[in-house]
Amino acid sequence: MRLATFRTGKISILYDADSLCDAGEAPQIGPHLVDPDHWRHAGRVIGEAPGRGASLFLDAGAGGEWVLRPYRRGGLVARLNASRYLWTGLERTRAFRELRLTADLHDRGLPVPRPIAAGVTRHGPIYEAALVTCRIAEARALASLLEGDETDDDLLKRVGATIRRFHDAGLDHVDLNARNLLIDQDKKVWLIDLDRCRLRRDGAWKARNLERLARSLAKFGAPEAMAPIRRGYGNS
């Protein structure tokens, strides 16, 4: 994957040069890439994901689909400031860090969505940001499958084995939950939403990841699903 940076006015975009370019028939680089209103006005929003931030599913043309996820705050602070963050440098923005991390893991062959672009708009001491990735075809969140009683031990063991692959690569996923694990039609497990995640040396963070996932499973009414996930994790 070849990453490059485009700048115009207050906006900086880090993008995959193999997916985008400024000529020919490829999607064009520009502020519109990370602007939800642009896609809505063009009639190319084909769906929306649940959860904070209202990620949009986009018709990217030529049969491709993307996911546009604006960065949004959670908790009490969101009542005062839902989408702006303190500026400490372009490479330290959440969008640029997440895209670079996702690209690194993608290049290692780990099951993450292919990153397309990260856009950052600076407003003096603060900024807003958004991330665009390829949509995983026909994938559903583990949470949805659990709620529909559509899982079995083999699938849950596969979830555990996939988490182990990421842990072995050093990924500390700070929001490991049943919505951030996707299952496609081939039963392949994908990990999404790497905001604030990082690569680390071995440590207690692995257990904390699994404990967070266990709380998420309980929230979706399936605390028993953690046992086969742990078995798959341990046997990998």
SS (H, E, C) 61-83: ECCEEEEEEECCCCCHHHHCCCC
pLDDT of residue 202: 96
Q: Which of 16, 175, 186, 195 is flagged as catalytic?
A: 175
Burial class of 63 by CB neighbour count within 10 A (0 to 12, 13 to 18, 19+): exposed
Beta-carbon neighbour count of residue 61 at 10 Å?
12
pLDDT, one tens digit for every residue, the chain (236 residues): 899 999 999 999 999 998 886 544 545 789 999 999 999 999 999 999 876 557 999 999 888 999 999 999 765 554 556 689 999 999 999 999 999 999 999 999 999 999 999 999 999 999 999 999 999 999 999 999 999 999 999 999 999 999 999 999 999 999 999 999 999 999 999 999 999 999 999 999 999 999 999 999 999 999 999 999 999 999 97
* pLDDT of amino acid 209: 98
Whole-angstrom distance, CA of residue 90 vs CA of residue 97: 9
Give the per-residue pLDDT at 78.
44
CB-based contact 8:31 (threshold 8 Å): yes
Q: What are the backbone dihedrals phi and psi of residue 5, each rounded to the nearest 5 degrees, phi first?
A: -120, 135
- Which residue do the tokens 């290049």 mark? 107
153 is catalytic: no
Q: What is the pLDDT of residue 67?
A: 97
